[in-house]
């Protein structure tokens, strides 16, 4: 069994049956049906992961600078901060 290097869930890799050629500048087009599955569009970020000679693509989601959570992210002074860490920071001022 294989587990996802990101979420640790057991996964069964499925071939999409799609093959694309790399152009002279090293680019490939991510097919529309895969963009839809990843819920990505123009200008969205894609993260690349490498494991066991396989390349994994994942939609880039902003994560909290402090804890890595992606829940309730707010950008402040150029840093992403989640709801829980904002509350913790707020409580620091009350003590």
Give the phi and the psi of residue 35 in degrees, each rounded to 5: -60, -40
Nearest distance from residue 79's CB to Zn ion, in Å? 10
**What's the CA gap between 88 and 93, in Å, rounded?**
9
d(CA 80, CA 75): 5
Confirm or reject binding of residue 73 to Zn ion (CB under 5 A): no
- The answer to whether the CB of 70 falls within 8 A of the CB of 58 is no
Query: Does 67 participate in binding Zn ion (rule CB under 5 A)?
Result: yes
- Rule CB under 5 A: say whether 86 interacts with Zn ion: no
Binding mask 35-64 for Zn ion (x = CB under 5 A): -----------------------------x
Q: Which residues bind Zn ion (CB under 5 A)?
A: 64, 66-67, 69, 82, 85
């Amino acid at each position: 069994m294989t587990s996802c290097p990101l979420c640790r869930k057991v996964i069964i890799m499925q071939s999409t049956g799609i093959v694309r050629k790399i152009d002279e500048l090293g680019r490939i087009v991510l097919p529309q049906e895969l963009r839809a599955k990843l819920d990505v569009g123009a200008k969205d970020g894609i993260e690349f992961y490498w494991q066991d000679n396989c390349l994994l693509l994942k939609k880039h989601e902003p994560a909290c600078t402090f804890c890595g959570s992606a829940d309730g992210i707010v950008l402040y002074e150029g840093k992403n901060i989640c709801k829980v860490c904002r509350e913790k920071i707020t409580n620091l001022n009350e003590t």
